[in-house]
Amino acid sequence: MADLIKLCKAEDVAPGQSFQVDADGMPALAVYNLEGEYFVSNNMCTHGMAWLTDGYVEGDEVECPFHGGRFSIRTGEPTAFPCVVPIQTYPVSLVDGFVCIEPAA
């Protein structure tokens, strides 16, 4: 198993919220807490130059603040126009209270 990248403490991400993280060698990332289940995606919207962490989390979707498009936090798939290109998501591990992902290949 590859060394994991620690992104943040799980407690740093409030339930129903997102949290921006910068990790060496990775694009800007968004960490989401959906009722104690954590997800990580690229933070930049694929439609426009906007941080998804500046948008709104509703249920298991994040709404981009730029044009109001939406993505599934769980899968990265676009769920509302004008977004049509998925955002990159990453498998998450919780290790000693930290949200972690594997390094990019």
What is the arrangement of strands in the sheet containing 29-34, beginning at the earlier edge strand? 18-21, 29-34, 37-42, 89-90
H/E stretch holding 72 reads strand 70-72
pLDDT at position 105 = 63
What are the residue boundaries of the structural domains of the chain, listed by start? Answer: 5-100
Exposure on the CB side of residue 88, measured as CA atoms within 13 A: 10
Residue 1: the pLDDT is 46
pLDDT, tens only, 11-35: 999 999 999 999 998 999 999 999 9
Fold of 5-100: Rieske Iron-sulfur Protein (2.102.10)
Provide the token pair at 96.
Answer: 């000693």
pLDDT under 50 in the chain at which residues?
1
pTM for this structure? Answer: 0.95
Structure-block tokens of residue 66: 């730029």
List of residues 6+ apart from 88 with CB closer than 8 A: 27, 41, 42, 76
